[in-house]
Structure 1
Amino acid sequence: MNKTLACTFNLLASVILMVLGIIYLFNPQYMPYHRQAVSLPWEEVPMEFQKLILALMKALGGAYLAVGITISLLQIQVNKTRNTLAVIIIFVSGIVVTISSLYASLLVRINTPGKAPYYLALLGGILLIAGLYYNIKQTKAHKKSATC
């Protein structure tokens, strides 16, 4: 049961990251909340700033995608081997991206008219914490049964 719950929570977090990664990587212009933040339609943003914004979106999208894939692959590894280091890497890599995304979203919401979607970062963080909890329970139960 712990294995299933840990897997479900972490894979849901990774799916959120991968979907966001794909959106940011392949979107040809900025997001609706970016438009709210700068109060300009995409066409009126100077070309230099368009290139800068798109470059930052691509970098963030790549990071989201990489961390989402990492979490998925490591969770499969944890399910097979109960590797404690993999459990830690899943949580740390996911929570770093989650906290930095939450921070960035809140900066936009507090300092601009943009309504950056912080709720996905918050949900991802909750899923990662739940996944960590059940992964730890799974590895502890496995160690107990292995030593008996």
Structure 2
Amino acid sequence: MNTITIERAKHDQTDEIAILVGDLLQEIMDRIGINIFHFDLEETQERLADFIESEKNFVFIAIDGVSNQIIGFVSSYEGYALYAEGAFGTMAELYVKPSYRSQGIGKMLIQALKEFGDQRGWKRLEVTTPPLPQFDATLSFYEREGFEISGGRKLKKVL
């Protein structure tokens, strides 16, 4: 019996979600062997609370009905581009605790985000994978969920 529910995150859940953000970033850094993220729990909690309140981010959480704990989340933001033919969503983070993986929870989170995007008139949903080849399995997961490779590498310039 599946006791996992998906719901939109609320302001009072940011402390628990921020811990998962830290877990996600640490997992990426451990796999690639490079310390590429700065993570401060308190700053992340404050930033996440602001993002949720101001709707800069739309966050959905997976809750284990047995333990009543948040076991995964997806965060996204809305963008607008000519190439995307208008409004679209970008998945900023998707994370499921390792002990809950391969149970369809990531798929459930993406489905909730797709339905939300449909309601907002998004034309597409985009995501950038963590570094490859260390995250080839993540790329395969997204492809199974209907995502297609649409471009080159993600680049950044710190301002």
Decide: shared fold, TM above 0.5. no
Higher relative contact order (CA 8 A, sep 6+): 1
Q: Which one has a larger percent strand, Structure 1 or Structure 2?
A: 2
Larger Rg: 1
TM-score of the pair, normalised by structure 1: 0.31
Q: Which one has a larger percent helix, Structure 1 or Structure 2?
A: 1
